[in-house]
Amino acid sequence: MNDAAPATTGKVWLVGAGPGDAELLTVKAARLIESAQAIVYDHLVGEGVRQLFPTRARLEYVGKKAAKHTLKQEEINALLVDLARQGMRVIRLKGGDPFIFGRGGEELETLHAAGIPFEVVPGVTAAAGCAAYAGFPLTHRDHAQSVVFVTGHLKDHSVNLDWPALARPGQTVVFYMGIGGAPEICRQMIAHGLPRSTPAAVVRRGTLADQQTLLSSLGELPQRIAESGIKPPALIVVGSVVGLHEKLSWFENR
C-alpha cells in the first residue's frame, strides 16, 4: 500500500476502554471520546463508556456480536483508513487494553502502511481489572513472582500452548477467552505438574455491577463451570493468589 495521504487526512487514536466499569477509563481516553468525530468500537466496550459517546459523533459498531454485519478484520482496517481519509478525528475504542489480545497492532500496521497518523492510549486490561475487583493480587511475594497472560482460545482444541512453562509453580496464569477450552486447559495444567488442588477462579464481566466470581480448584473447575453455566466474557485465573480472595474480596461484599 503506502498510499500518499491527502492534506486533509485525519488521525486515529487507538484507545483502551478498560474492562467495563466506566470509571476505569483513563482521563485521556475520556477526553478523546468527548472530542471524537467518529468512534469505531467493539462489543466489549461497556455500556457506561458508550454513554459517554457524544451524540454528534459518527458511531460504528464493529463488535463480533453485530447481528448481521460481522466485519472482518480487513474491513475494520479499511473503515479506519476511510474515516481518517475523510479528515476525521477517529477513536478506535477497544475493551481493556488495545495491545493485549486486541489486534491493535494489526490495525496500526494498516494505518502505518496507509500513511495515517495515529496515537495509542492504553487501558486497564481485563486481568488487572478482574483481579482487583475479585479481590486477589496477580503477584504476591509469598505466592507468585510472575504473571502470564495467555489466550485460552485453543485452535481446533489442539494443544498449541507451552504447557510446561504455564504449569510452573510460583506464578499466576490468566487465560483470556478460555471458557470453552477450560476442560483442556485444566487437564493440561495438571498433566504438566500443577496439583489438582491449585486454586483457580473464573471472573465474568469483571468490574461491572453483575460481576460473577467462581472459586474452585484446577481439578474441579471444568465441572463447576459446566454446573454454573457461566459464559464469556470471562477470565480463568490459576495460582495460589486466588486463595487470597477469601480475605481480600471487597467488591462483592459491599
Ligand X SMILES: C[S@@+](CC[C@H](N)C(=O)[O-])C[C@H]1O[C@@H](n2cnc3c(N)ncnc32)[C@H](O)[C@@H]1O
Could you list the residues that contact ligand X (CB under 6 A)? 19-20, 44, 94-97, 100-102, 125-126, 130, 176-177, 203-207, 232-235
For 28, 70, 102, the CA distances from 107, given in Å and listed in that order, are 20, 17, 10
213 vs 227: CA distance, rounded Å: 14
Question: Quick one: 32 or 235, whose CB is closer to ligand X?
Answer: 235
Nearest distance, CB of residue 198 and ligand X, angstroms: 20
CA dihedral 243, 246, 249, 252 (to 10 degrees): 120
Nearest distance, CB of residue 64 and ligand X, angstroms: 9
Question: Which one-letter DSSP state was computed for residue 237?
Answer: E
Nearest distance, CB of residue 174 and ligand X, angstroms: 9
Residue found by looking up cell 486454586 in the block: 199
Answer yes or no: are the C-beta atoms of 76 and 64 closer than 8 Å. no
Query: Would you state the cell numbers that stand for residue 97, as one nine-digit string?
Result: 487494553
Residue, CB closest to ligand X: 96
Nearest distance, CB of residue 19 and ligand X, angstroms: 4
**Residue 64 known to be catalytic:** yes
241 vs 138: CA distance, rounded Å: 7
Question: Quick one: 88 or 230, whose CB is closer to ligand X?
Answer: 230
Q: Please pick, among 11, 21, 64, 155, the residue that the annotation labels catalytic.
A: 64
Nearest distance, CB of residue 125 and ligand X, angstroms: 3
For 31, 97, 140, the CA distances from 214, given in Å and listed in that order, are 35, 24, 21
Question: Quick one: 88 or 131, whose CB is closer to ligand X?
Answer: 131
Question: Quick one: 10 or 129, whose CB is closer to ligand X?
Answer: 129
What H or E segment, with its residue span, contains residue 173? strand 171-176
Question: Which one-letter DSSP state was computed for residue 18?
Answer: B
Q: Please pick, among 3, 21, 42, 97, the residue that the annotation labels catalytic.
A: 42
98 vs 15: CA distance, rounded Å: 6
Question: Which one-letter DSSP state was computed for residue 4?
Answer: P
79 vs 73: CA distance, rounded Å: 10
CA triplet 23, 253, 224: central angle to 5 degrees?
100
Nearest distance, CB of residue 204 and ligand X, angstroms: 6
Question: Which residues are catalytically annotated?
Answer: 42, 64
